[in-house]
Structure 1
């Protein structure tokens, strides 16, 4: 039985390797363990928000506030769907997707992290492909955007392997200095030839679509 009051919690994305599910209390605890075990070399900073530089317990409390805030501030004008990623029942990281004025702009952006122990195994590409399927096939997105520091080669390789095209650069704050980020865009026309038939989206009910600001047609079919 689906969740009667917050249908977003019923969403699941499944691939042959992974399950992605919305971050609730258990997923929060699982992800804290992933972060505590390490998600990047401390000598580098791959994130625009350097949350891993904060010492515990503040880091964990900040993470919980962030996840709770995503749900508390959800609206059809601005939303962020945070999902935990599991392989064989074990949490390996997180993959988020967010948008502003999505019913009009049909553009999503994505962000993620993966535990150090599970990097280099193709999981990053698999979980991005999964959330792109939700965006394009499930929500009817027209494009997806993302970005990475120019020295984050692994992230860029994942992005480029999925068909994104470079979309300019920018200089942003990075720890005590600055860094250059490479921006990317994936148009629906570039995603369609790579569309997979082994990704399954569950729980995207009419009530859930309504929370994204989307409706269903007369046959009960959503925006895909």
Structure 2
């Protein structure tokens, strides 16, 4: 379980993050603060794994809070202002989100947090949440053989089942870079399913053969 807190002086920002976190049962929201000053006092007494942190707050700013922590947890900045992004990354924040935060963008940030917390990686579910029709659906990434672009949608191929979800291949390529590799302008393949590679095709352990795009041949050869 990843212990998280929110530090933001805007109640609506808390509500948005709380709403999105409903799709992430491995993230436990243990406290919420409306000022960085109050949060600093609490963090001095007990530690957490990650913080959703606003920047522009009265008395103590989010950036000042980071600098005041001897051993900062994973920090995900959530701000209405993009101009602090460079400073944030210089302070080694895990990600920088712009308000209003979308569910896919938060999913991406949380995956980065999980990647930086190896003690949790073995126990956390390896999944992604995507919109299918009018509902959100969770997909076990271990069961997804490959993902195919379909306009502003993607097709997730799982055994004999194909699901159309709202997302772009570019978004998923960035979000799933730790376990999927793009081998064609319209294909992402699950790394663990690849059993052989030829000059222009990869073969999966299910017997499926996928074509390698010309500009992706070099990266495809690194799969084995």
TM-score bracket for this pair, using the shorter chain length: under 0.3
Higher relative contact order (CA 8 A, sep 6+): 1
TM-score w.r.t. the length of structure 2 is: 0.27
Structure number with larger C-alpha Rg: 2
